[in-house]
Amino acid sequence: MIDKNISFFTNQNLRSIARRLLKQIPAAIKSAQIYPADHPYFINSLELVQETLAELFKYRPEATFSIVENELYFGHLALVEDTLSLRQFISEFEKRKINSLTFLAAVTSAELASFMQLLGREAVDNSDSALLSGKMREKNITNIQLGALLKAEDAASQEDGRREEMKFDAAARNKAQGSFFGSIDVIKQIMHKVENTQGFALNNVHQVVADIASAIDNNNKYLLGLTTMKNFDEYTFNHSVNVAILSLYLGKLLGLDLEQLRLLGEAAMLHDVGKVRIPKEILNKQGKLTPAEWEVMESHSTEGAEVLSQITGISELSLAVALEHHMHYDLSGYPKPVKLKETSLLARLVTICDVYDAATSLRVYHAPALPASIIGLIISKKGSLFDPVLAKAFVQLMGIYPVGSLVRLDNNALAVVYANNLNNILRPKVILVNQQTAGRDPVIVSLEDIDRGTKTFKYSIIEALAPQAYNVDITKYFYAQG
C-alpha cells in the first residue's frame, strides 16, 4: 500500500539503506558478545544501527525484514544481491526460526541494546522465535517484533483505510472486463489477418495497451484476476492478452514510464503471432510431438519476427521479443543465438510472464500447474532460465500464492486468492469458498487481519490445492456474466 507510488529510485535508495543495516545488525550482535554494555565499541555499534534506522523511518513508520523461501525482503522489496553479509543475516535468523523482524519507529536505544545482548548472549540451540519473543517481553522490548508483523492496535488503526480498499467495486470490475475482452478481440482480428497474409494496423493494439496500462495505473484490482480465465478453445488469444497484462503489471512495478509500457504491451501482445504459421495439427496435437514436429513448432519465434518485420511502425522491441521469448537467460532454449551475448531486457521480462501463463493453463498436452508451484519453479530457475532480478520482481508482484490460487487455510476452510498484497507476499486477500453465494458480491477477507483476542493472524495459508480436485470453478470469482 505504502510503496506502490514510490518511484523506482526511491526503492533503490531504500534497498541500499536496508543493506547497510544488514551489515550493522550482525556487527552489533557480535559486539554485544564481546564487550560489556557500557563499552564504547558496543555503544558505537548501536549508534550506527540507530542512525540507519532513523534514515529508514523517514520513508515509513516501520522497518520489516522477512525471509521467504530463503530470500530476504525489506518490506516488499527483494534484496537481490547475494553478498556474504546478507547470507549471514539470513542464517542467523533461520537458526532461530525467525522469519520476520520489525523495528517500529518508536524504538529506543535501550531496546536496541537489550535486543542485541539477547541475540548475542543467548545460546542459539535453545532459542527459537517464540522463546526469544517471551524474553523480549520480559525486558520490555516492545518496538522490536519477531514473526508477526502487526500488533492488534496497529491493525485496528488501519482498518478504516482497509475497509475502503476491500469494498467490492462493480464499476472497476466492469471496466477491467471491458479492457480484457476488447484486447482479446483485437488480437483475434490481427491473427486472422496474418493467417490470410494481410498486414494489420497497430493503432488498435496501442489503444487496448493504453487501456490496460491506465487500469493498472488506477490501481484496478480486477485485471490481474481476469488472467486466471484460461479459455481452452481460444488459448492463443487469451494467452497473448494474459501475457500482456502480466508484463504490464511487472513493468509498472519496475518503474517503467508510459512510453516504455506502450512498447512492452505491444511486444507482449504480439509475442506469439508466429503461431498462426504453424499447422493446426501440430499446434493442437494430443500427445508428444516428434522431433521434426518440434522443429516446426519452435519456428513460431522466427516466423513471428518475420511477420512483424513487415508491419509499418512496429517497434524493434516487438521483433526482439517475438524472436527471443523462448531463449533463456543463460541462452539455452530456442532459437539458438547466433551473435547474441544476452537477450533484451524486456524479452526476459515477457519470457517469465509467458512461462507462468502457459504452465498454469489447461492444454491438450498438459493439465494446468498450480500457480504456487510455477512461482516455486521461477524462484528455483532464477539465474539459469530466468533473469534473477526480474524473477524476484515477478514473485513480489504475484506473491507466493498468486491470484487465482485455491488454498487451504489453517481453520481448514478453502479460499480463492483474490488480490495480491505487495506488502506481504504471504498474506494476500482471499474469498472464502463456501461463503460465496450466487448473485451476491463476494466477501473479501485480508489475511493480514489480526484477531484482537489472541493478537495473532486470524487466518494463514497452509497449502495450495488443485481446483479440479475440489470442484471449485476459479473463473466465477473473477468474471461477472451479464
Please report, as residue ranges, which positions from 198 to 257 form the binding site for Fe ion (by CB under 5 A).
none
Residues contacting Fe ion: total by CB under 5 A:
2
Report the C-alpha gap between 395 and 386 in whole angstroms. Answer: 12
Class of residue 389 by CB neighbours under 10 A (exposed 0-12, middle 13-18, buried 19+):
middle
Is the torsion defined by CA of 67, 421, 477, 156 positive or negative?
A: positive
- The CB-of-344 to Fe ion minimum distance in angstroms stands at 16
Q: Are 378 and 391 in contact (CB under 8 A)?
A: yes
Comparing CB distances to Fe ion, the nearer of 275 and 382 is 275
By CB under 5 A, residue 303 contacts Fe ion: no
- The CB-of-352 to Fe ion minimum distance in angstroms stands at 11
Nearest to 360 by CA among 318, 398, 408: 398
Comparing CB distances to Fe ion, the nearer of 243 and 261 is 243
Q: Which range, of 75-83, 192-200, 212-220, 271-279, touches Fe ion by CB under 5 A?
A: 271-279
Comparing CB distances to Fe ion, the nearer of 224 and 244 is 244
The three state secondary structure string of 257-288 is CHHHHHHHHHHHHCCCHHHHHCCHHHHCCCCC
- The CB-of-298 to Fe ion minimum distance in angstroms stands at 9
- The CB-of-357 to Fe ion minimum distance in angstroms stands at 7
- The CB-of-65 to Fe ion minimum distance in angstroms stands at 36
Taking CA atoms, 6 is separated from 3, 13, 65, 119, 255, in Å, by: 5, 11, 18, 34, 9
Comparing CB distances to Fe ion, the nearer of 191 and 430 is 191
- Of the candidate residues 266, 354, 387, 449, the single one contacting Fe ion (CB under 5 A): 354
Q: Which range, of 202-210, 251-259, 327-335, 349-357, touches Fe ion by CB under 5 A?
A: 349-357
Q: Which range, of 64-72, 247-255, 347-355, 470-478, touches Fe ion by CB under 5 A?
A: 347-355
- The CB-of-475 to Fe ion minimum distance in angstroms stands at 21
- The CB-of-358 to Fe ion minimum distance in angstroms stands at 6
Q: Which range, of 30-38, 167-175, 266-274, 447-455, touches Fe ion by CB under 5 A?
A: 266-274
* Residues composing the chain: 482
Q: Which range, of 71-79, 123-131, 177-185, 265-273, touches Fe ion by CB under 5 A?
A: 265-273
End-to-end distance of the chain based on CA atoms, in angstroms? 32
Q: Which range, of 137-145, 220-228, 354-362, 365-373, touches Fe ion by CB under 5 A?
A: 354-362
Which is it for strands 144-146 and 429-432: parallel, antiparallel or unpaired? unpaired
Comparing CB distances to Fe ion, the nearer of 62 and 272 is 272
DSSP 8-state secondary structure symbol assigned to residue 366: B
Comparing CB distances to Fe ion, the nearer of 304 and 399 is 304
- Hunting for cell 523462448 — which residue is that? 326
SS3 115: helix
Taking CA atoms, 231 is separated from 192, 227, 274, 360, 366, in Å, by: 18, 10, 20, 12, 14
- The CB-of-324 to Fe ion minimum distance in angstroms stands at 10
Comparing CB distances to Fe ion, the nearer of 114 and 242 is 242
Taking CA atoms, 184 is separated from 177, 180, 244, 386, 482, in Å, by: 11, 6, 11, 27, 18
Q: Please count the CA atoms within 13 angstroms of the CA of 8 that sit on its side-chain side.
A: 9
Q: Which range, of 61-69, 133-141, 162-170, 272-280, touches Fe ion by CB under 5 A?
A: 272-280
Comparing CB distances to Fe ion, the nearer of 79 and 270 is 270
Q: Which three cell numbers stand for residue 269?
A: 501482445
- Of the candidate residues 62, 272, 303, 449, the single one contacting Fe ion (CB under 5 A): 272
- The CB-of-131 to Fe ion minimum distance in angstroms stands at 50
Helices (H) and strands (E) in the chain, counts: 18, 10
Q: Are 137 and 111 in contact (CB under 8 A)?
A: no
Contact residues for Fe ion, defined by CB under 5 A = 272, 354
